[in-house]
Amino acid sequence: MGNVDRLNRQILTAYWIVAAMVIAVDSTYFFSGANAEEGHSPSSLLTRILLILGIAGLGELLYASFRRYGRQIVVGISLTMAYINYLNLSAYTESSPGILLMFPMFVPLIYFDRRLLDGFGVSNIVLYTAFYFLVERPFYERGIEDFALRVLMLAASLLLGRLVLIRALEIGRQVELLTQAQQDLIVDKAVSQRLLKTDALTQLYNHGTFYEYLEDLVDQCMRNGLEIQVAVLDIDNFKKINDTYGHLIGDLVLKEVSIRIGMIVAPNDFAARYGGEEFAVIFTEKTIGESAEYTERIREAVQSANYSYMGNHPVTVSVGISAYEPGDTAETLFGKADGALYRAKRSGKNRVELYDAGRDTLSVRD
């Protein structure tokens, strides 16, 4: 609605510009003395000026009062102004240019409204017919051939307008279909890329995507001093869960753990299923202490979750965490967190351990 209002406002403003141009031309032509012999008086000039200004003002008043009929008002005012200008020119010429009466036929094209075009096109032909027999024929003695030519021009302009509008609507539909097809391709591409980047079971990022992101962040650490931490989480005794309850229950446990991780990590962090029962998280914009607190919350959330589908058997995770240090690569940073994870496993499981170079062995995986 707002776009239509702006369009209507622009057209009404254009009418004021047209009115100003008509008044300027009319006044210049009058004061040049070209028609002094015809007896045109200043009062007739003033009347024409007031008439054209009154029509433009009437359009403003009607639009302000009946905005819901804005299109009809705008087209109606254009039709009225066309006939006023047509009459004004009749004061100076023996044969007014009928093209003036054709202009209102094309205003509805701006709105792409076929009904509006047909309605005002037919109205224009009927109005000119009445105008000819009531004004032009008795007062200006215009011949019937002029009438036939004007009607033919108006009918032709209506037909041309309809053809232009039909073609414009067809092009619009084609553009819409192309746009929709392009949007569908973009969506399909996004879905495909997501499928390539995520783990199907847990909907977390997969192993390959994790390493791509980790390598990019390590590069930022080297270049810009970014601080990141990596946590590696492993579900304790997961093989026993699979052996006791079956792989279907094991999959449910993996989903539950991934949900708990996703609920706790911050929007700027990166969680992935590294493989099997193992998960990895990259923490950004945090200190090592803050990241350790996040991993502790994840551990507690996993432990307190409801695993009713396996008789509320407890599920826990062990976590190793390490911070980036100058000289680290993506592999060594992950390896330090993995070494801390092994210590957490050896120390009784269900715990979070920070990497300690004096106690942990750097783990390197393929």
3-state SS of the chain is CHHHHHHHHHHHHHHHHHHHHHHHHHHHHHHCCCCHHHCCCHHHHHHHHHHHHHHHHHHHHHHHHCHHHHHHHHHHHHHHHHHHHHHHHHCCCCCCCHHHHCHHHHHHHHHCCHHHHHHHHHHHHHHHHHHHHHHHHHHHCCCHHHHHHHHHHHHHHHHHHHHHHHHHHHHHHHHHHHHHHHHHHHHHHHHHHHHHHECCCCCCECHHHHHHHHHHHHHHHHHHCCCEEEEEEEECCHHHHHHHHCHHHHHHHHHHHHHHHHHHCCCCCEEEEEECCEEEEEEECCCHHHHHHHHHHHHHHHHHCCCHHHCCCCCCEEEEEEECCCCCCHHHHHHHHHHHHHHHHHCCCCCEEECCCCCCCCCCCC
* Structure confidence at residue 96 (pLDDT): 55
In the numeric block, which tokens belong to residue 186?
Answer: 């973009």
Rounded CA gap, 291 and 320, in Å?
11
Q: CA 10, 12, 14 angle in degrees (round to 5)?
A: 70
What are 25-70's pLDDT values in tens digits?
Answer: 777 777 776 554 444 567 777 877 888 888 888 888 988 888 888 8
Contact of 283 with 262, CB cutoff 8 Å: no
Domains and CATH numbers, the chain: 2-178 (no CATH), 207-354 (3.30.70.270)
* Structure confidence at residue 39 (pLDDT): 46
Tens digit of each residue's pLDDT, the chain (366 residues): 557 788 888 888 888 888 888 788 777 777 776 554 444 567 777 877 888 888 888 888 988 888 888 888 888 888 888 887 777 766 555 555 667 778 787 788 888 888 888 888 888 889 889 888 988 888 777 789 888 988 888 888 888 888 888 888 888 888 888 877 777 666 566 555 656 788 989 999 999 999 999 999 999 999 888 899 999 999 999 999 999 999 999 999 999 999 999 999 998 899 999 999 999 999 998 999 999 999 999 999 999 999 999 888 899 999 999 999 999 999 999 999 999 999 999 999 999 999 988 776 766 555
Taking alpha carbons only, the member of 222, 213, 225, 334 closest to residue 285 is 225
* Structure confidence at residue 206 (pLDDT): 93
Q: Which amino acid is at 75?
A: V
What are 268-316's pLDDT values in tens digits?
Answer: 899 999 999 999 999 998 999 999 999 999 999 999 999 999 888 899 9
Contact of 248 with 307, CB cutoff 8 Å: no
Q: Which amino acid is at 116?
A: L
Contact of 281 with 233, CB cutoff 8 Å: yes
